[in-house]
Structure 1
Amino acid sequence: MITLGIDIGSRNTKIVFYDTSKQSILFSAFNATEVNPLQSVQSLLKQAKDIYGLDLPDTIACTGYGRKLWKGTNKIFSEITCHTAGVLYFVPKVRTIIDVGGQDAKIISLTPEGKIKDFVMNDKCAAGTGRFLEMVANRLEVSLDELSELAQQSKNTLTISSTCVVFAESEIIGMIAKNTAPADIAYAAHISVAKRIITQLSAVDFIPPLVFTGGVAQNKDLVQCLSGLLNTPIITPPNPEITGALGAAILLSQMEEFS
């Protein structure tokens, strides 16, 4: 049997076709969430059909900000449970999950058995999320991928003191006006985000292994900054963007087994 997990996020939409018998991913993809999120889903489903001949299955689960939009959904799951299930697929021994997306950041603490023990979520402030890094990239006139590469060229450690995106942007504008090296600004932004994540981590009883997931986890320099400040290795799944959609598909498959 095949289950489909759909994660309609604030910035990106993700889908995963999951083979329940082989417990393997058949197809996964993501794209930017459009003004009409359902168009984003349809575009991804077309890719699955055109590339792999995958038709829309009867068993569909949704998560994310737009989880209630898809009318053909069999089950709706919370982002916390989905990201947990998705990360456990890649790293069964994970004890703490750091999930940073476009508009929010979540810390999930797990028991040795992989059950959710505690979690904290920041969805009120863009600082410490992908939106903050997008702002920095725009100011430096680089892509998000280039921002990570740029930060790794930094030769000086600067500090962005503001914890608000609006004020932090003013700081960055001031740095640019003083002809500060873009690489140093990029690195300072990553340190700022890493410190915000650590503040969230301090609110739970976090234990290694730590897994960093969500779209922001693709930023290698940020992962290095976080690992360095914590003095702890940080694991990133092979495709951190899809863990929510994967978890939705897995959770639905587990329900189907016992239905």
Structure 2
Amino acid sequence: MTNIIKKAIADDVFVPYFQPIVCMEERTCVGCETLIRWDRPVPGITSTEQLIAEAVDHGIIFQLTEIMMEKTASILGAVKSKLPSDFYISINVTPSCILDVQFEDACSKFIRHFEDENIKLVVELTEQYPLLVTDKTLSLLNRIKKLGVHIALDDFGMGYNGYDYLRCIPVDIIKIDKTFVHHIHDDNISKYIIDSISSLADKLDMRVIAEGVENERDAFYLYGKGISYMQGYYFSRALCGNEFIDWWLK
């Protein structure tokens, strides 16, 4: 599988797609999440989750992540003057990416593409791949924070480490997992969890983003609970570069 993925990299198969992040209060796109896709079949790979897992297991996840960062910077950098100030671009990273000796430099290069426009880089950590919080990890996270990188916790509430991360890691953004969002109208527990996350984020002065918002009813319910930032099919699916730029300009 390593050779298959490496060949796909050499063949320039992998491309970034962008899912808009919307502020309900202003009804504007304030950022996007970069998601990896491929424009030709990759033998044996049937899903993004499988691709990431294989890349992690075979030690090539940083190479994939760096490619996504470079392509994202190239695509969105070409229209950066049209993006609003404080627009932010999220990149998903695994612990092995963070600990790679080239990660800090990759963040620095990405930021330099956009620094004139004050566009932010957000690094998303997911509980699917737990991060061992050590002095080395914290030192690196604090260094990239000084570069201007923001840190988000993705899929919050789905694992065992989320609240411990809030205590130990310099987090800026909490992303509520779509599982809770999908059940807010038929499951009181999901409602209470969303309420508690929103309240906690407010006390910690962190931004909350709700994932997986698929209809108007959910969007307005979340907005009524004080959650202004959302992403999901109600606003837009993930779009290739040209589609995202066209969507934004409209």
TM-score (norm 2): 0.31
TM-score (norm 1): 0.30
Q: Which has the larger radius of gyration?
A: 1
